[in-house]
Structure formats: C-alpha cells, structure tokens
C-alpha cells in the first residue's frame, strides 16, 4: 500500500481523494495556506509544505490548479521528482462527475502522466 499525501486541502483535494487508485492510502494533506495548516481535512491532518521534506510517504499527489508552481516548490524543498504526481486537471476542476466505482482506470493514468510531463516541460 502506497502512502500518499495530497497537496491541496480544498475542493481539488477532495475530488482527487475520490479518485485514488487501489492500494493508495492518503495519510495527510498539505497546503500553502498557513491558516489551514494543523487543521483536519477529510479526517487527515493538513501539513505545511516545509514539513513534507521530513515526511515518511511514498508519493505526493498535487490537486491544485497551481500544479506547476507547487511542483517547483516541492523540488526546491528537496523532494524527489519521482515521488510527485499531478492529479488530472479535469478532476481538480470538476469538469466531469467521478463515479464512486472509478479507481484510476487507464484514462486517469494516461491523463496523470500527461499532466506530469506538462509540468516538467513548463519548469
């Protein structure tokens, strides 16, 4: 089971949380808003980005419209790029309804890879 931190403790994070693939477990959320840090979101603690550098996790899923900037921020904090993923932009924006049975099918995996490649190219 992969331990995942979702970066984005808002609607995007809530939507991404609904679309995790089997075997992924959210252990916390992270957010740049200092007023949210330390609070609970969907039953998990909201961490500061700086605290992620010392965290014990397998991956970070960015669930924010500011994914390229957050990706760069995480890299600058020393987090391995291989551990950083970007949620499908349509999921973040809620452009389609995610069925409760949806668990990161082929479409979501391809979209996720495309988003990561786009984020890397932008950087």
Q: Domain residue spans in the chain?
A: 2-122
Using a cut of 0.85, tell me whether the model's pTM lies above it. no
- 3-state class (DSSP) for residue 90: helix
Comparing C-alpha atoms, which of 104, 105, 93, 100 is closest to residue 59? 104
Give dist(CA 14, CA 84) in Å, integer. 18
CA angle 88/110/62 to nearest 5° reads: 30
42 has pLDDT over 80? yes
CA angle 109/78/8 to nearest 5° reads: 50
What is the CATH T-level fold of the domain 2-122, as seen in this structure? Rossmann fold (3.40.50)
45 has pLDDT over 90? yes
User: Using 50, 70 and 90 to split pLDDT, how confident is the model at 104?
Assistant: very low
E strand spans, the chain: 2-7, 24-30, 40-41, 44-47, 59-62, 84-86
- pLDDT score for 121: 75
- 3-state class (DSSP) for residue 16: helix
Element (H, E) at 61: strand 59-62
Mean of all residue pLDDT scores within the chain: 84
């Amino acid at each position: 089971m992969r331990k995942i931190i979702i970066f984005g403790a808002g609607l995007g994070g809530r939507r991404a949380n609904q679309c995790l693939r089997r075997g992924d477990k959210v252990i916390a959320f992270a957010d740049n808003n200092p007023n949210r840090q330390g609070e609970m979101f969907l039953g998990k603690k909201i961490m500061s980005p700086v605290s992620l550098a010392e965290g014990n996790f397998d991956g970070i899923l960015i669930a924010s419209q500011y994914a390229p900037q957050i990706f760069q921020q995480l890299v600058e904090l020393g987090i391995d790029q291989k551990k950083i993923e970007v949620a499908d932009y349509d999921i973040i924006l809620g452009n389609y309804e995610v069925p409760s049975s949806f668990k990161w099918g082929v479409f979501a995996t391809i979209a996720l890879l495309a988003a990561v490649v786009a984020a890397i190219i932008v950087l």
